[in-house]
Amino acid sequence: METQAPSWNILVVNCGSSSLKYEVYQMPQRRSLGKGLVERIGEATGSLSQQGSKGELKRELPIPDHAAAFALVKEALTEAAAGLIAGIGEIAAVGHRVVHGGERYAASVVIDAEVIAAIEESAELAPLHNPPNLTGIAQARAMLPDVCQVAVFDTAFHQTMPPTAYLYALPYEFYEKYRIRRYGFHGTSHRFISGRAMTLLQRSPENTNVISCHLGNGASITAVEHGRSIDTSMGFTPLEGLVMGTRCGDIDPAILSFLEARGLSSAELNSIMNKKSGLLGLSGISNDLRDLEREAEAGNKRAVDALEVYAYRVRKYIGAYIANLVKVDAIIFSGGIGQYGVKMRERICHRLENLGVFMDYELNRSRGSQEGLVSAAFSPISILVVPTNEELQIAIDAYELAFSGEAGFRKRQGDITL
């Protein structure tokens, strides 16, 4: 009689300054038991919404701090009518999204005092993200003190970039003293979708090169050679690279001193570049692709221009990465725009035919947001739509570090037999 393999529940946490996203995965089955979102932490009235197989749970109440938010999550997870698990003791490990790991971490790690210190050191490079990530770690450890906690870094996947890709042509002392270099972000997404593409294409990473396009309100593109990131569009911060929803992406840096001389402060310029530029700034309408598509169809020239600038910048990076990869097997579209923006995918792939990228436009339209190929059968380079799932990737990493192999956290603890 066959014995059923054990399963473990992994809690995935993405903690922001005023929000807390979470999801529970049953591993190794990779089955989501449900997810939730706590919003408006610290405001007069906060909210929790949770969806699982038992139904939806909603709460509106004051949530003064993250400790209160985690207490609310614990209650929601185990709520009798619509909870995701029977008891908090069913959580076997916690995976945390951490935005910046600096140069120290090229992979996910079990969290200890040294890891926490390293995340604190990198907080200067990600001041809006690392501090709340640390808060989430502290609160999760307080809620589950004996459970393995794992940090999954957005920057880790890009630590395989060579110096030719990550160094800026600034005085080298700036890199030595301040670690100013290209770090890249969205690494967890790029790792997931490039790995998923191998399954869809029935290929091995060892002999496959892909270009992954994570396109959403935040957008980045990565050249992946034999399963390793060798270049990516985001840089020292997530501001560099592609045009995004409200971020400008690449600009001439002299523009900043030009505007400063006309009375704009550095704080104002930083806000403009991050929150008032991109699709929103170009169109003057919205940072939402759907709004711009409707306006473009109605003849709004600024909406058309914004969409074309967006597509042009992505296409420009694809061409550069094809040149540096030499051989490219696939281009992957993911993220809110990459997955759902059927017309945007067409805009991007138009004019790439001379590089061996041939989209089947009819197939692209019929595919819509569903996973699969959208390239012509004769295209030397495949084009795929692959929905991203960063939460699943975090759960996979947490499970593997907690339970797999000789280095497994649980095995080291000696409290289970693997």
Q: For residue 301, with 0-12 CB atoms within 10 Å meaning exposed, 13-18 middle and 19 or more buried, which class applies?
A: exposed
How far is residue 167's CA from residue 169's CA, in Å, rounded to a whole number? Answer: 7
- φ, ψ of residue 194 to 5 degrees: the values are -70, -35
pLDDT at 299: 97
pLDDT at 416: 33
pLDDT at 3: 55
How far is residue 273's CA from residue 103's CA, in Å, rounded to a whole number? Answer: 26
Closest by CA to 111, choosing from 143, 134, 128, is: 134
How far is residue 166's CA from residue 385's CA, in Å, rounded to a whole number? Answer: 28
Residue ranges of alpha helices (H) inside 82-167 are 113-121, 130-143, 163-166
How far is residue 267's CA from residue 274's CA, in Å, rounded to a whole number? Answer: 11
pLDDT at 414: 38
Single-letter residue type at 67:
A
What is the model's pTM? 0.93
Residue labelled with tokens 């005085």: 171
Q: How many CA atoms lie within 13 A of 369 on its CB side?
A: 8
Closest by CA to 344, choosing from 316, 311, 386, 367, is: 311
How far is residue 332's CA from residue 386's CA, in Å, rounded to a whole number? Answer: 7
Active site amino acids? 154
Ramachandran sector of residue 271 (left: φ over 0; alpha: ψ -120 to 50; beta: rest): alpha
| Structure letter (DSSP) for residue 89 | G
Q: Are 222 and 233 in contact (CB under 8 A)?
A: yes
pLDDT at 409: 53
pLDDT at 411: 42
pLDDT at 415: 38
Residues of the chain below pLDDT 70: 1-5, 405-418
pLDDT at 6: 78
